Amino acid sequence: MARIAVIGGTGYAGSNIVAEAVSRGHTVVSVARSVPAERVEGATYIEGTILDVPSLVAELEGVDVVVSAIAPRGDMLGQLRPNIAELVAELPTNVRVGVIGGAGGSLIAPDGERLVDQDSFTPEYKPESLEAIGVLDDLEGGSAARDWFYVHPAGGFGVWNPGERTGSYRDGGDVLVTDAAGDSYISGADLAVAVLDEIEQPKHSRERFTVGY
């Protein structure tokens, strides 16, 4: 079993990842700026922030995998990319890093354009989408000694559309996963299934991948 830290572990994606990891018997540390009243039994909750990387690195001593489940929105917009880059640089090289990005960086077809560059992409979401893509750019251009993975959820992913755990999903590689009707969706619980599957049986070393139904 692994010792897994989830930064942003009380948010929508993070809380699902924490719950799935605990259910599989891993040692799980949830990191957020405040400790929630409702907690996943079996997880350890600590206060910490990506905005203070030196203190965060000290709190993460001994972990095997660090997953960032923070969205670059609100006060994190413009702050997330440089701080994740600093975190990746400061963590021991044997720690694997996972990042939950957004759908915007997914391709709409093999070797095609990005979703964020389509006219249909909601303009208000572009700044956070482009920053999330910047995080991916930094990982791809970073040291080959650092193992990482980066997940693009489906387009219809969020607390506003929670869904249920089915235990199944499709891996689309670089391409946005859509169903026969052209819809793109995954529940928070099944995104977590995909993340834990990747942690337990890595298939995407230093790669991104998309998930959906």
Query: Has residue 78 got a pLDDT over 90?
Result: yes
**How far apart are alpha carbons 67 and 7 in whole angstroms?**
6
**pLDDT tens-place string over residues 91-136:** 999 999 999 999 999 999 999 999 999 999 999 999 999 999 999 9
Burial of 86 (0-12, 13-18, 19+ CB in 10 A): middle
DSSP 91: S
Query: Which of 89, 11, 99 has the alpha carbon at shortest distance from 57?
Result: 89
Structure token pair of residue 75: 């006060």
Identify the pLDDT of residue 194: 98
**How far apart are alpha carbons 2 and 28 in whole angstroms?**
8
Query: Has residue 211 got a pLDDT over 90?
Result: yes
Query: Has residue 37 got a pLDDT over 90?
Result: no
Cβ(98)–Cβ(149) below 8 Å: yes
Domains of the chain: 3-212 (3.40.50.720)
Identify the pLDDT of residue 82: 98
Query: Has residue 38 got a pLDDT over 90?
Result: no
Identify the pLDDT of residue 45: 97
DSSP 125: G
**How far apart are alpha carbons 67 and 37 in whole angstroms?**
22
Question: What's the mean pLDDT in 161-179?
Answer: 96
Identify the pLDDT of residue 74: 93
Identify the pLDDT of residue 148: 98
Query: Has residue 51 got a pLDDT over 90?
Result: yes
Query: Has residue 203 got a pLDDT over 90?
Result: yes
Enumerate residues 6+ apart whose C-beta is below 8 A from 94: 64
**How far apart are alpha carbons 165 and 189 in whole angstroms?**
5
DSSP 209: E
Confidence of residue 80 (pLDDT cuts 50, 70, 90): very high
Query: Has residue 188 got a pLDDT over 90?
Result: yes
Cα distances from 114 to residues 50, 68, 77, 153, 175, in angstroms, run 27, 22, 20, 14, 9
Q: Which residue has the higher pLDDT, 37 or 163?
A: 163
Lookup result for tokens 């915007």:
104
- The Cβ of residue 41 has, within 10 Å, a number of other Cβ atoms equal to 6
